[in-house]
Structure 1
Amino acid sequence: MCTGKCSRCISVTLYPLVLISIICNIVLFFPDGDIQYAKDGHITEEVKYMGGLVGGGILVLIPALYIHLTGQQGCCGNRCGMFLSIAFAAVGVAGALYSFIVAVHGLINGPLCKVLLVWTTPFSDTKYLSDSSLWWKCTAPKNIVQFNIGLFGTLLATSCLQLILCGIQMINGLIGCVCGTCNEKGPL
């Protein structure tokens, strides 16, 4: 496969991952579908870091757009374009890594929830992920533990895929930069 075609495949695959990351991060601001928790500041701390919006979203979208444009230039684009795609893919790796780290911390620390009358993170020192019998401690928002696990888990998986794809593009860009274009001359 030509390095340009590979770039197009990577960028087209990154677009839905970017969208999923942004949507997950926005939804995390509204546990139980209620805006009151965000207004009152009762949001899990890792949500405020906006790993899905900034990291897996914007910092991956910009490289995806450039990588897509690089793949559009003839069969493989030019050597300079492929070299720049390495730098852009590195920005994508950094963004995906940021999203990954925030998602891991969100899963490890657990959700901010109401326990009796106090807002706290009751699971920051326990293994709540493997013991669902502890989830009853959170009385509000409703089903916040499942909500956080589902969305932070999705962000974790999405950022892993983004890391892999941007890493592949760095290698693809290096090959395109070193080996040059693969302009095929067809019949005149």
Structure 2
Amino acid sequence: MCTGGCAKCLGSTLIPLAVLCTLANILLFFPGGKVVEDRTYITDEVWCFGGLLGSGVLMIFPALVFLGLQNNDCCGCCGNRSCGKRFAMFSSIIFAAIGVLGAGYCFILSAVALNKGPKCKTGENWSYPFKAGDYLADHTLWERCTSPDNIVPWHLTLFSLLLVMSGIQAVLCGIQVVNGLFGTICGDCKCCGCCGVSS
């Protein structure tokens, strides 16, 4: 397996996931698909920008680095044909770690938001009517939210998507950490062979 090709595959997978996470976070600013009068009516975790920053913008950097690894000029560095590629693979480990942190941030926020439930109107007040995820198993509790319409399935669907996609991102970045270690030690098979042996 070529480490550069593997990194490119991971990068091309991370890009659409980052875009989807960004869109999901933006949609959460419109509870139930509607514009709310007061921003305090929006669930607190939405304002932490887990999908927008953690799994969105922050994920673009490692994705672009991974995409560029296969095209890096790895030959002719310090007289060693493979040290340029190895340094690039080593740097990808740092970006992969940043990706894991961003995805982890989004994952934790999404888990907290799912457990806490949405902020909605109950009677005359806006509050969090659910406790410790009790609404997840008992759909009859959803009736506590009188406004916005369909706020519970909206909240549940979008934060579940963020949870799953950020989890996938964390796994992909974790794979690149391992892939980057192999690339640092052995180089890339497409350019200079494995473990310094020319192809």
Measured against the shorter chain, the TM-score band is over 0.9
Q: TM-score, normalised by structure 2?
A: 0.88
> What do you get for the CA RMSD once the two structures are aligned?
1.7
Match status 1:137 vs 2:136: no
Kindly state the Cα deviation for residue 125 of structure 1 after the two structures are TM-superposed.
Answer: 4.0
The residue that corresponds to 1:118 in the other structure is: 125
> Stretches of 4+ moved more than 4 A in 1?
74-77
Encode CA deviations 1:150-177: one digit per residue, 9 max, x unaligned.
0000000000100110000010000000
Given that 1:25 and 1:53 are in contact with CA atoms closer than 8 Å, whether structure 2 keeps it comes out as yes
Judge which range, 68-77 or 176-185, deviates more.
68-77
Given that 1:60 and 1:92 are in contact with CA atoms closer than 8 Å, whether structure 2 keeps it comes out as yes
2:137 is paired with a residue whose SS is coil
Kindly state the Cα deviation for residue 31 of structure 1 after the two structures are TM-superposed.
Answer: 1.2
Q: TM-score, normalised by structure 1?
A: 0.93
Q: Pairwise mapping of residues 48-59 of structure 1 onto structure 2 (< 5 A)?
A: 48-59=47-58
2:134 is paired with a residue whose SS is coil
Kindly state the Cα deviation for residue 72 of structure 1 after the two structures are TM-superposed.
Answer: 2.2
1:119 is paired with a residue whose SS is strand
Encode CA deviations 1:13-58: one digit per residue, 9 max, x unaligned.
0011001100000000011322224x44200011111100010001
Kindly state the Cα deviation for residue 67 of structure 1 after the two structures are TM-superposed.
Answer: 1.1
The residue that corresponds to 2:43 in the other structure is: 44
Judge which range, 74-83 or 153-162, deviates more.
74-83
Q: Distance in 2 between matches of 1:172 and 1:122?
A: 45
Kindly state the Cα deviation for residue 74 of structure 1 after the two structures are TM-superposed.
Answer: 5.8
Q: Distance in 2 between matches of 1:146 and 1:42?
A: 17
The residue that corresponds to 2:187 in the other structure is: 180
User: What is the total number of aligned residue pairs between the two structures?
Assistant: 184
Alpha carbons of 1:65 and 1:105: their partners in 2 closer, same or farther (altered >3 Å)? Answer: same
Match status 1:84 vs 2:91: yes
Kindly state the Cα deviation for residue 70 of structure 1 after the two structures are TM-superposed.
Answer: 1.3
Q: Percent identity?
A: 46
Given that 2:117 and 2:133 are in contact with CA atoms closer than 8 Å, whether structure 1 keeps it comes out as no
Kindly state the Cα deviation for residue 145 of structure 1 after the two structures are TM-superposed.
Answer: 0.5
Kindly state the Cα deviation for residue 126 of structure 1 after the two structures are TM-superposed.
Answer: 5.1
Mind listing any 5+ residue stretches in structure 1 that lack a counterpart?
Answer: none
Larger radius of gyration: 2
Q: Distance in 1 between matches of 2:131 and 2:70?
A: 45
1:121 is aligned with what amino acid? Y
